[in-house]
């Protein structure tokens, strides 16, 4: 008797739409993405639509050995002059954008953009107080799209080598910044049309004006860019807070829970944060089973910023320590990557691989904000969908490549170790070493002030309403109990007979 996989992604449950991709490829780290972005923009015929949490016109897409190069803002002006009938539309989160207007170089550049007919720069404030627009989507001619975790902002550019002291890693103000790891996915075909619909909807909500209609029949995939996937179906999942007649969307939270429920052997996560008690409780419930899957998380050593460190790092430690109490709590390991000289590499990626049968790339962190507060967008390729039969080897290669990058080994060695051990944790532990590698996260108990902020989710509420609730009505423990309750009543996932 044979078996077949049951799809994890289900339209209307944990994703908005499932659409066909003629081609798709994961792009790892911003050096490759920015170089590709430059080409995609110059090749666009009718429109370039850039939607993000951050956007800095001072950065160079291809910085030289001194961190200098043609600023992005100047590059866009050049594109506008070369092809004035092509729209260049830029939408970024309003709070960060308003802060940037205090920088004279940025203010001057935005003023110069306004003198062109082609470039439209807008700020997105179409969300409740305290929320942010966190999607990172770029769309070209409503056909080709990029969706993932990489902002077109400062302090993001880095190569997969993450070299110590790389002078290319210089911020616009002239200061060096830490190594940075990130990921995104480029997709062409009907899924690009769907992401264009999402982008157009977001633009209209933020600006109260619709973008003009395009032909949508172009094919501008770069000739020399080898796709990872061809002819696959891709699920698009969102988070959106209720606002001005638009209902709340929590597809991303549901997909995280469904992934955890469906995993047979392992889930490999790369994520910036882990502070969602509901997700943590779901993992703990799985680790209470007799033969549960493994969970491996690759994360930053500490969050970026003092407030984030107090809120996010303390909550992460509390949740991981609680999960460790499960029957098989040792099947969760949390690592952070470091350079050859021991400097932490910041992990900004939001990537997940389940059993080498599903890969997910997007903007959503494993924190409360990404579940119900901020606008998010993730894309997922699930081998159980009929169009995706046979993609498991590709997903496996991508997962091996990510782990190999962090361990500074050949991806084939990751594959051999996994074949020999059958364990993701044993594979990583067997390949960890001196120099550039993965380090286990220090789970030292947080101090009382950090613990209070984390326990009460002061900087990481689960919804807009939670920001105004009393401390007795919210907190990590309540989120944890909600996660346990969901796991106990979940519908079964996995394999079915045929």
The model's pLDDT over 154-164, given as tens digits with 9 standing for 90+, comes to: 999 999 999 99
| Domain final position from 230, 260, 280 | 230
Residue 264, number of CB atoms within 10 A of its CB: 15
345 in a structural domain: yes
Q: Which of 285, 303, 323, 347 is nearest to 460 (CA)?
A: 303
| Domain final position from 230, 264, 283 | 230
100 in a structural domain: yes
The yes-or-no verdict on residue 343 having pLDDT over 90 is: yes
Say if residue 159 is in the same domain as residue 249: no
240 in a structural domain: yes
Q: What is the pLDDT of residues 362-398, one digit of tens each?
A: 999 999 999 999 999 999 999 999 999 999 999 999 9
Say if residue 221 is in the same domain as residue 290: no
261 Cβ contact list (under 8 Å, min separation 6): 282, 286, 487, 490, 493
pLDDT of residue 470: 44
Say if residue 110 is in the same domain as residue 159: yes
451 in a structural domain: yes
Q: Which of 365, 350, 363 is nearest to 315 (CA)?
A: 365
pLDDT of residue 30: 98
413 in a structural domain: yes
Say if residue 281 is in the same domain as residue 225: no
The yes-or-no verdict on residue 442 having pLDDT over 80 is: yes
The yes-or-no verdict on residue 491 having pLDDT over 60 is: no
**Residue 255, domain CATH:** 3.30.870.10
Region 239-253: mean pLDDT is 93
**Cα separations in angstroms, 459 against 231, 363, 374:** 42, 18, 13
pLDDT of residue 115: 92
15 in a structural domain: no
Q: What is the pLDDT of residues 425-438, one digit of tens each?
A: 999 999 999 999 99
- pTM of the entire structure? 0.92
Say if residue 173 is in the same domain as residue 251: no
pLDDT category, 131, cuts 50, 70, 90? Answer: confident
More confident residue, 399 or 478: 399
280 in a structural domain: yes
Q: Helices 411-421 and 392-407, interaxial angle, to 10°?
A: 110
pLDDT of residue 454: 47
pLDDT of residue 216: 62
84-101 CB burial, b ≥16 within 10 A, e <16: eebbbbbbbbbbbbeebe
Q: What is the pLDDT of residues 220-241, one digit of tens each?
A: 899 999 999 999 999 999 999 9
Q: What is the pLDDT of residues 299-340, one digit of tens each?
A: 999 988 655 666 788 889 889 999 999 999 999 999 999 999
127 in a structural domain: yes
pLDDT of residue 493: 59
Q: What is the pLDDT of residues 59-91, one digit of tens each?
A: 999 999 989 999 999 999 999 999 999 999 999
| Domain final position from 196, 230, 264 | 230
pLDDT category, 468, cuts 50, 70, 90? Answer: very low
The yes-or-no verdict on residue 106 having pLDDT over 50 is: yes
pLDDT category, 466, cuts 50, 70, 90? Answer: low
Say if residue 173 is in the same domain as residue 290: no
**Worst-scoring range by mean pLDDT, 19-28, 210-219, 239-248?**
210-219
Say if residue 156 is in the same domain as residue 286: no
Region 443-462: mean pLDDT is 57
The CA distance from 78 to 83, in Å, is 9
Say if residue 155 is in the same domain as residue 285: no
HEC sequence for the chain: CCEEECCCCCECCCECEEEEEEEEEEEECHHHHHHHHHHHHHHCCCEEEEEECCECCCCECCCCCCCCCCEHHHHHHHHHHHCCCCEEEEEEEHHHHHHHCCCHHHHHHHHHHHCCCCEEEEEECCCCCCCCECCCEEEECCCEEEEECCCECCCCCCCCCCCCCCCCCECCCCCECCCEECEEEEEECHHHHHHHHHHHHHHHHHHCCCCCCCCCCCCCCCCCCCCCEEEEEEEEEEEECCECCECCEEHHHHHHHHHHHHCCCEEEEECCCECCHHHHHHHHHHHCCCCCCEEEEECCCCCCCHHHHHHHHHHHHHHHHHHCCCCCHHHEEEEEEECCCCCECEECCCEEEECCCEEEEECCCECHHHHHCCEEEEEEEECCCHHHCCCHHHHHHHHHHHHHHHHCCCHHHHHHHHHHHCCHHHHHHHHCCCCCEEEECCCCCCCHHHHHHHHCCCCCCCCCHHHHCCHHHCCHHHHHHHHHHHHHHCCCCCEEEC
What is the count of structural domains for the chain?
2
Return the percentage of the chain with pLDDT > 70, whole number. 88
Say if residue 268 is in the same domain as residue 362: yes
What is the largest distance, in Å, between two alpha-carbon atoms of the chain?
A: 69
Quote the mean pLDDT of the chain. 90
pLDDT of residue 455: 57
Say if residue 212 is in the same domain as residue 276: no
Say if residue 118 is in the same domain as residue 196: yes
Q: Which of 272, 305, 256 is nearest to 479 (CA)?
A: 256
Q: Would you mind telling me the total number of residues written for the chain in this entry?
A: 498
What residue numbers bound the domain in which 146 lies?
23-230
Q: What is the pLDDT of residues 168-195, one digit of tens each?
A: 999 999 999 999 999 999 999 999 999 9
Do 376 and 252 touch, CB atoms closer than 8 A? yes
**Worst-scoring range by mean pLDDT, 88-102, 133-147, 271-285, 389-403?**
88-102
Say if residue 255 is in the same domain as residue 208: no
């Amino acid at each position: 008797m044979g078996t077949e996989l049951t799809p994890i992604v289900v339209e209307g449950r944990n994703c908005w739409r499932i659409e066909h991709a003629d081609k798709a490829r994961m792009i790892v780290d911003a050096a490759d993405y920015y170089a590709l972005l430059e080409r995609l923009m110059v090749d666009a015929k009718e429109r370039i639509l850039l939607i993000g949490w951050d956007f800095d016109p001072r950065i160079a897409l291809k910085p030289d050995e001194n961190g200098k190069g043609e600023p992005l803002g100047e590059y866009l002006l050049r594109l506008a002059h070369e092809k004035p009938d092509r729209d260049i539309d830029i939408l970024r989160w309003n709070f960060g954008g308003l802060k940037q207007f205090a920088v004279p170089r940025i203010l001057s550049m935005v003023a110069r953009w306004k003198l062109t007919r082609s470039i439209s720069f807008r700020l997105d404030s179409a969300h409740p107080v305290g929320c942010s627009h966190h999607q990172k989507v770029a769309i070209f001619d409503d056909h080709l799209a990029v969706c993932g975790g990489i902002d077109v902002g400062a302090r993001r550019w880095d190569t997969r080598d993450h070299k110590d002291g790389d002078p290319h890693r210089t911020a616009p103000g002239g200061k060096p910044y830490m190594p940075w790891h990130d990921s995104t996915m480029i997709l062409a075909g009907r899924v690009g049309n769907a992401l264009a619909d999402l982008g157009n909807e977001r633009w209209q909500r933020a600006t109260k004006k619709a973008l003009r209609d395009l032909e949508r029949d172009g094919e501008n995939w770069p000739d020399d860019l080898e796709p990872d996937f061809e002819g696959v179906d891709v699920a698009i999942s969102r988070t959106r807070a209720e606002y001005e007649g638009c209902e709340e969307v929590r597809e991303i939270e549901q997909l995280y829970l469904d992934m955890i429920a469906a995993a047979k052997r392992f889930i490999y996560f790369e994520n910036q944060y882990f502070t969602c008690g509901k997700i943590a409780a779901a993992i703990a419930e799985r680790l209470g089973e007799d033969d549960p899957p493994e969970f491996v998380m690759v994360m930053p050593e500490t969050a970026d910023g003092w407030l984030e460190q107090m809120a996010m790092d303390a909550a992460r430690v509390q949740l991981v320590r609680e999960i460790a109490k499960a029957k098989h709590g040792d099947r969760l390991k949390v690592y952070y990557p470091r350079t050859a000289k021991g400097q932490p590499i910041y992990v900004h990626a939001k990537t997940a691989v389940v059993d080498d049968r599903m890969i997910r790339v997007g903007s959503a962190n494993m924190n409360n904000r990404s579940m119900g507060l901020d606008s998010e967008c993730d894309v997922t390729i699930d081998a159980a969908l009929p169009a995706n039969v046979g993609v498991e080897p590709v997903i496996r290669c991508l997962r091996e490549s990510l782990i190999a990058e962090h361990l500074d080994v050949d991806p084939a060695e990751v594959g051999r170790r996994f074949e020999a051990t059958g364990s993701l944790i044993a594979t990583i532990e067997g390949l960890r070493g001196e120099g550039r590698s993965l380090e286990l996260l220090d789970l030292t108990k947080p101090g009382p002030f950090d613990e209070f902020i984390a326990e009460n989710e002061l900087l990481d509420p689960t919804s807009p309403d939670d920001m105004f609730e009393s401390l007795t009505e919210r907190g990590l423990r309540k989120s944890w109990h909600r996660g346990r309750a969901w796991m106990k009543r979940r519908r079964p996932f996995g394999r079915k007979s045929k």
